Chain A
Amino acid sequence: MSKELIRLVDCVMAFDEEVVLNDINLCINDREFLTLLGPSGCGKTTTLRLIGGFQKPTSGDVLFNGVRVNDVPPHKREVNTVFQKYALFPHLNVYENVAFGLRIPKKGEHGKKIKLSEQEIDARVTEMLRVVNLTGFEKRSVSALSGGQQQRVAIARALVNRPKVLLLDEPLGALDLRLRKDMQIELKRIQQETGITFIYVTHDQEEALAMSDTIVVMDAGRILQIGTPTDIYNEPENAFVADFIGESNIIDGIMREDGVVEIFNRRFKCLDSGFDKDEPVDVVIRPEDVDIVAEDQGQLKGTVTNVTFKGMQYDIIVDFYGFKWLIQTTDLSPVGSRIGIKIDPDGFHVMKKSEYSGMFGDYSSYSEEYDEIGDASLELVEEDAGDEE
């Protein structure tokens, strides 16, 4: 187990009576890649700003190495930030942007101001530009760079200070899909190369799954689940997490006994246990865990109502007794055809009922929901508007 670096204890944040963070408890370990994941307005950026020192918690403590740092201003924290829209200094070129932090004299251990020599600054800036693949761009104006290049300047500018922790606030939000995928790999590489703790904020679950050691799922100012990407995906705590991380069909069920769950009045074998007898539960079935079989061989039988070709697979919507499921398959079943399905016991994940029960997991309004998820830029705009006040 690596050692603990940052801990948030009972952090509450309120602006004018409006609570934006509620009782946040979070532990961040050294060299960890931790992602704060949640929809816009869930409090993830605020959490980041608490760690960065740009905001003070209304109550609760922020601890660095066990020391309370609530009142330590940003410039005295061993933390650097990559801002959402990079916040590069337009009047400085690439080199000077990266060198900015190095040129500020820092207080050393004995209260003496330490100023780096030009050679050292030059060596560190050059090295950092190499790390982010921007060698040769030193003299360019930052406004003449592409979005991805600006992004990398922002990362270099933060990392060159050798912070203990790097905070990244939706750093890839403004990039196009292809570039985003490249930068995900790039960021992960940089994190591994430098060994710096990354705290990463995003609303994109795929990004979170691809890069993180730990994912923190947040909604409405609370932490819903903390875990590794596989834990979060396979064992979501509640319907919200299940729905937010990947696609899922969430069905009302009853836990008849350990290893037996009932949905649609049929009993299925599952691997879950530890529930009361006959306890009502939410059952998650991931679309890729469903096998399509001939109608007469199926555990359940339904009608295909919608088919979308996705390249690698078809997304088909199947109506089972009035409940619409999303199933991903490589075989085409035309709209209107009757099919049967089979689910293995490890395809079921049983969750306790929560406040989110019944809100997610039904694909009746399939098309609209897809639009919403697909339009990340829309979400960004909304978030900006929210920041304004």
Chain B
Amino acid sequence: MKKQRHFKSRLFMALVFLFLYAPIFILIFFSFNSGTSSMVFQGFSLHWYSELLHNRIIMQSVYTTLLVSILATIISTVAGTFAAVGFHALRKRPREVLTTVNNIPMMNADIVTGVSLCLLFVVLFGFYESFAAWFNGVQGLITLPKQLNMGFGTLLIAHICFNIPYVILSVGPKLRQMDKNLIDAAQDLGCTWMQAFVKVVIPEIKPGIISGALIAFTMSVDDFVISYFTAGSSASTLAMTIYGMTKKRVSPQINAVSTLLFVTVLILLVIVNLREASEEKSAKRRTAAKIYAHRSESRNRRIAPVLQRVGAAVLICAIIAGTVFAGHVGKSERVVNVCSWGEYIDEDLIDEFEAQTGITVNYQTAESNEALYSLIEMGGADFDVIVPSDYMIERLIAEDLLAELDYSNIPNFELIDPRFKNLAYDPENLYTVPYTWSTLGIIYNTAMVDEPITSWDAMFDPKYAGQVLMINNSRDALAAALFSLGYDINTTDEAKLREASALLAEAKSAGVYQAFVMDQVYQKMEGGNAAIAVYYAGDYLTMLENNEDLAYVIPDEGSNWFVDAMCVLKSAQHKEEAEAWINFIASTESNLANMDYIWYGSPNIEAMEQYPDYYYELYEEEIDQETLDIIITPADTLERCQMYRNLPAKTLALYNELWTDLGV
């Protein structure tokens, strides 16, 4: 009886740990997968680790993350330690009040801290701009920069801000444990207060300082939300980069980088625990009052502090040198700040552009059109070039946020297929140069359906109950219903939209949908867990690599096609460099490289013509027509497709309402 209970409790423990650690181990396991699938292990490989090292955007963000974490750790440890000493010197009542004030930011939601810091910076920069304008106006000797932007500096300030409370919290108890006469004693023996602090207090509270620094460091490396709101456009931490990738497919490189991150944190934790254990041991040894007078040991101990000091000095020099170096790199006269989507460029192009022009590219990613819009609207970003989708461009133009382009600086615009010029979102083509285009369609598993799918009706057919994945995005899902009903996808007619919503609701209650998904569509379709899904053409090719039974169709009723185009923000400070970048990306070579990398259609006529040859040269095999047709949708198919238009606010509100009512 007792034994059984013992067994049960052990089983329970095992399950708890399994649930805690299984996700991390799966991630580590798949980081060594040679293929792209996160369902099937295709063989051991360090491929993603080596890819990672060559991924400029990830490596840059790792560098930013480490630099900001280390600097924030050092600064907040010093500041926090002195603050803790200050707190300690206070009388009980004010000390308790201050301790509570110190604890609140730690309990505060990150999102609140992030947004409020962002607001603070925006407000302060606003004041600064009016001051600089006035200052530059009244005198001519010194010219202040007209404008300040969020970037590495604000990111660092934010990190210092949220780290300091943790340092205070960890140093405080050590100070309280310390004999309060120690400082008096040191001063009595001839030390100034500062000498006493360095020679006596710091060695006494060192364990607290070290654990405070380690906590600060892990918090910094870990942080996403606060960084997101305070990094501006020129800096991006690793967490931000990973999140930026989720608009498209998360690259398995992320598994690799997450594994490295996990291992780093694990090592730090082990160090902390070992330190604590050894401290306990030495404390025990002391209380046991056993006395050893090993002269040799003591000699070794004298050398150790010297080594420590040298190590610390080297570390500090390295950090300073790194900062200066980074500052130097960042100081390059000509800069362009680009904000695009994750996994949406062949990164060699960035190096090539920098080598050709000497312009430094700050390449950032956003996770959706809506997130990009809110960043721009809040004034928290100083992007030059952005790559929004068609309907968002229409909105940005309507709100007068985009700058007109000087096409004489963009000769490669000539190479854009006229079909992609003067589109509805930019009818006179004053603001945009198309980047890619693709279609929405139905992906299905040929082994799981009896006949080829040709109509949007399949998305609502009870025959496929439990087999269908609907897209978790109101515009695309309602478009599927509108097509099925034979209505215009840009309709503003409330009755029609309600009818479309009712169709979705009916199918949902009939159990047609296995789920409403975005990213999970890859796993489910690749693993054969669902038969039918709505998704984008370029992404279908990624899935096809891992499951050959899949097919893509643009239904007979037609579908949505979309263009992502490069534009320059009105607030851009590097318009000339921005146009140089756009021209470079619009070139045939860049378009070929990008098309091969992301499998979205290119709007460049020459690139579309040359792609099969380019493919042959690269892979030494012919591209099959079916694949080519998916990358570059044939003109007759494209004719059946429509673009989304920016909808009036009233209709957007209705979309929101219907989508909420549907209760996805």
A141 with B286: CB separation less than 8 A: yes
The answer to whether B182 and A81 have CB atoms under 8 Å apart is no
* Contact A73–B187 (Cβ < 8 Å): yes
Q: Quick check: is A100 within 8 A (CB to CB) of the other chain? A: yes
Residues of B within 8 A of A (CB): 91-92, 179, 181-182, 184-192, 195, 199-200, 203-204, 286-287, 289-291, 293-295, 298
Stretch at the interface among A82-90, A185-193, A300-308, A348-356: A82-90
Residue in B203, B204, B286 whose beta carbon sits within 8 Å of that of A143 in the complex: B286
Pick from A75, A83, A140, A145: contact of B190, CB under 8 Å: A75
Contact of A87 with B191 in the complex, beta carbons under 8 Å: no
Chain B residues lying within 8 Å of A79, measured Cβ to Cβ, are 188
Looking at the assembled complex, report how far the CB atom of B266 sits from the nearest CB atom of chain A, in whole angstroms.
30
Q: Assuming the A-B contacts A75-B190, A75-B191, A91-B204, are A144 and B185 also in contact, with contact meaning beta carbons closer than 8 angstroms in the complex? A: no
Flag A189-204 by CB within 8 Å of B: 1 or 0 each: 0000000000000000
Q: Is A74 an interface residue (CB 8 A)?
A: yes
Taking a contact as CB atoms under 8 Å apart, the answer to whether A83 and B191 are in contact is no
Q: Which of A67-104 contact B (CB under 8 A)?
A: 73-75, 79-81, 83-85, 87-91, 93, 100-101, 104
Closest to B290 in A: A144
A136 to B293, alpha carbons, bound, how many Å?
A: 9
List of B residues within 8 angstroms of A75 by Cβ: 187-192
Q: Does A338 contact B (CB under 8 A)?
A: no
Can you name 23 A-B residue pairings with CB atoms under 8 Å? A52-B188, A74-B184, A74-B187, A75-B189, A75-B192, A80-B188, A83-B185, A87-B184, A88-B185, A89-B203, A91-B204, A100-B186, A104-B189, A104-B195, A136-B293, A138-B293, A139-B295, A139-B298, A140-B293, A144-B290, A158-B188, A161-B189, A161-B190
Whether B200 and A89, one on each chain, are in contact in the complex, defined by CB atoms closer than 8 angstroms, is yes
State the CA gap A140–B285 with chains docked (Å): 12
Cβ of A124 within 8 Å of any chain B Cβ, yes or no, is no
Alpha-carbon distance A323/B190, docked complex (angstroms): 56
A54-B187, A81-B184, A389-B91 provided; 16 other pairs, C-beta below 8 A?
A: A52-B184, A74-B184, A75-B187, A81-B188, A89-B185, A89-B203, A91-B203, A93-B298, A101-B190, A104-B189, A138-B293, A139-B294, A139-B298, A140-B293, A144-B290, A161-B190
With A81-B184, A87-B179 given, is the CB distance from A144 to B291 under 8 Å? Answer: yes
Which residues of chain A are within 8 angstroms of B294 by Cβ–Cβ distance? 139
B181 touches A85 (CB 8 A): yes
A106 at the interface (CB under 8 A from B): yes
List, in ascending order, chain B residues with CB within 8 A of A144's CB. Answer: 286, 289-291
Chain B nearest Cβ from A57, distance in angstroms: 17
The 0/1 profile, CB within 8 Å of B marked 1, for residues 95-118 of chain A is 000001100101000000000000
A169 CA / B472 CA spacing, docked (Å):
76
**How big is the A interface, by class?**
20 to 34
Q: Which residues of A contact B191 (CB under 8 A)?
A: 75, 104
- A157 on the B face (CB < 8 A): yes
If the complex has contacts A89-B200, A90-B204, A139-B293, are A54 and B190 also in contact, measured as CB distance less than 8 A?
no
Q: In angstroms, how far is the closest chain B Cβ from the Cβ of A121?
A: 13
A79–B189 alpha-carbon span in the complex (Å) = 9
Distance A100 CA – B188 CA, assembled complex (angstroms): 11
CA distance A52 to B179 in the complex (A): 18
A73 to chain B: which residues have CB within 8 Å? Answer: 187, 192
Q: Which residues from chain A contact B204 at a C-beta distance below 8 Å?
A: 90-91
Which residue of chain A has the shortest Cβ distance to B282 in the bound complex? A141
Complex CA gap A90/B182 in Å reads 10
Knowing A90-B204, A140-B291, A143-B286, say if A101 contacts B184 (CB, 8 Å).
Answer: no
Given contact pairs A106-B190, A161-B189, A87 touches B295 in the complex (Cβ within 8 A): no
Query: A84–B181 contact, CB under 8 A?
Result: yes
Contact A87 B187 (CB under 8 A): no
Bitwise, A48-74 to B at CB < 8 A (1) or not (0) is 000010100000000000000000011
Task: Look across to chain A and name the residue whose beta carbon is closest to the beta carbon of B179.
Answer: A87
Q: Which residue of A lies closest to B297 (CB)?
A: A139
107-162 of chain A: CB within 8 A of chain B:
136, 138-141, 143-146, 157-158, 161
Closest Cβ–Cβ distance, residue B400 to chain A (whole Å): 65
Q: How far is the CA of A157 from the CA of B182 in the complex (A)?
A: 13
Let me know if B298 and A80 touch, CB within 8 A: no
Return the 6 tightest CB-CB contacts between A and B, nearest first.
A101-B189, A87-B181, A87-B185, A91-B203, A104-B190, A143-B286
The CA-CA distance from A197 to B298 in the complex, in Å, is 36
CA distance A248 to B199 in the complex (A): 50
Chain A residues numbered 351-389 whose CB sits less than 8 Å from any CB in chain B: 389
- Residue numbers in B under 8 Å from A101 (CB-CB): 189-190
List the B side residues contacting A157 at CB < 8 Å. Answer: 189
In angstroms, how far is the closest chain A Cβ from the Cβ of B220?
Answer: 29
Q: Evaluate whether A89 and B182 lie within 8 angstroms (CB atoms) in the complex, with A139-B298, A144-B290, A144-B291 already known.
A: yes
| A80 CB contacts on chain B under 8 angstroms | 188-189
Q: How close is B211's CB to chain A, nearest CB, in angstroms?
A: 17
Once A90-B204, A144-B289 are accepted as A-B contacts, the answer to whether A54 and B192 lie under 8 Å apart by CB is: no
Residue of B nearest to A95 (CB): B298
A175 to B113 alpha-carbon distance, docked (Å): 54
A79 CA / B200 CA spacing, docked (Å):
20
Chain B residues lying within 8 Å of A91, measured Cβ to Cβ, are 203-204
Please report the C-alpha to C-alpha distance between residue A254 and residue B91 in the assembled complex, in whole angstroms. 52
Residues of chain A within 8 A of B192, CB atoms compared? 73, 75
Specify which chain A residues have a CB less than 8 angstroms from the CB of B190 in the assembled complex: 75, 101, 104, 106, 161
Chain B residues near A83: list those with CB within 8 A: 181, 184-185
Distance, CA A77 to CA B228, complexed state (A): 56
- Give the complex CA separation of A161 and B191 in angstroms: 13
Chain A residues lying within 8 Å of B185, measured Cβ to Cβ, are 81, 83, 87-89
CA distance A146 to B287 in the complex (A): 11
Which chain B residue has the least Cβ–Cβ distance from A84?
Answer: B181
- With both beta carbons as reference points, the residue of chain B lying nearest to A145 in the complex is identified as B289
- Specify which chain A residues have a CB less than 8 angstroms from the CB of B181 in the assembled complex: 83-85, 87
A89 CB contacts on chain B under 8 angstroms: 182, 185-186, 200, 203
Determine the distance from Cα of A90 to Cα of B195 in the docked complex, in whole angstroms. 17
* Residue on B nearest A76 in the bound complex, by CB: B190
A144, B292: Cα distance in complex, Å: 10
User: Distance in Å from the Cβ of B593 to the closest Cβ of chain A?
Assistant: 61
Task: Say whether B286 contacts A85, CB under 8 Å.
Answer: no
Give every chain A residue within 8 A of B184 (Cβ-Cβ): 52, 54, 74, 81, 83, 87
Taking CB as reference atom, which chain B residue is nearest A79? B188
User: Does B189 contact A389, Cβ atoms closer than 8 Å?
Assistant: no
**Which chain A positions have C-beta within 8 A of B287?**
143
Q: Which residues of A contact B195 (CB under 8 A)?
A: 104
Nearest residue in B to A106 (C-beta to C-beta)? B190
Q: What separation, in Å, do the CA atoms of A74 and B196 have in the docked complex?
A: 12
- A139 and B185 CA atoms in complex are apart in Å by 21
- Roughly how many angstroms separate A101 CA and B186 CA in the complex, as a whole number? 8
Residue of B179, B188, B291 with highest tally of chain A CB at under 10 A: B188
Chain A residues, Cβ within 8 Å of B293: 136, 138-140
Distance of A168 from chain B, by nearest CB (Å): 12
Residue of A nearest to B283 (CB): A143
Q: How far is the CB of B444 from chain A (nearest CB, A)?
A: 71
Max chain A CB contacts within 10 Å: which of B182, B190, B289? B190
Residues from chain A with Cβ under 8 Å of B189 in the complex? 75, 80, 100-101, 104, 157-158, 161
Closest B residue to A139 using CB positions: B293
B203 surroundings in chain A (CB, below 8 A):
89, 91
Residue of B92, B185, B290 contacting most chain A CB atoms (<10 Å): B185
Residues of B within 8 A of A93 (CB): 298
A108 to B186, alpha carbons, bound, how many Å? 19
Q: Are B179 and A85 in contact (CB under 8 A)?
A: yes
Which of A85, A89, A157 counts the most B-chain CB atoms under 10 A from its CB? A89
Collect the chain B residues with CB atoms within 8 Å of residue A158's CB.
188-189
- CA A161 – CA B190 in complex, angstroms? 9
Chain B residues within 8 Å of A145, by CB:
289
Residues of B within 8 A of A146 (CB): 289
Query: Min CB distance, B608 to chain A, in Å?
Result: 73
Contacts A75-B187, A81-B188: A87 and B298 contacting too (C-beta < 8 A)?
A: no
